[in-house]
Amino acid sequence: MENLLQTIIEPLVDFKDDIRITKEDHDKSITYHISVHPDDMGKVIGKQGRIAKAIRTIVTGANKSDKKVFVEID
């Protein structure tokens, strides 16, 4: 899943080396934390959060486990 997030986010940002994706595994959920350069934050979130919502939708659809998936953009 981290590779999928990386593939989605890389074309959106200018500072590709500053992309950090971490995973927190809980009992009933998985949380992915995405960290990007401050100048790229708006590009990843998008106008009115449209890009962020699309990323969350794709990750939720690609989830093969029974756990709920959350994506947080820091």
Q: What is the pLDDT of residues 15-72, one digit of tens each?
A: 999 999 999 999 999 999 999 999 999 999 999 999 999 999 999 999 998 999 999 9
Q: What is the CATH number of domain 2-63?
A: 3.30.300
Residue type, 29: S
**Displacement of CA 53 from its chain's centroid (Å):** 10
Domain ranges of the chain: 2-63
What pLDDT, on a 0 to 100 scale, did the predictor assign at position 33?
A: 97
Distance between CA 47 and CA 45 in Å, rounded?
Answer: 7
Strand partners, 25: 30
Instruction: Supply the pLDDT for residue 23.
Output: 96
Query: Taking the model in full, what pTM does it have?
Result: 0.90
Beta strands per DSSP E along the chain? 20-25, 29-35, 68-73
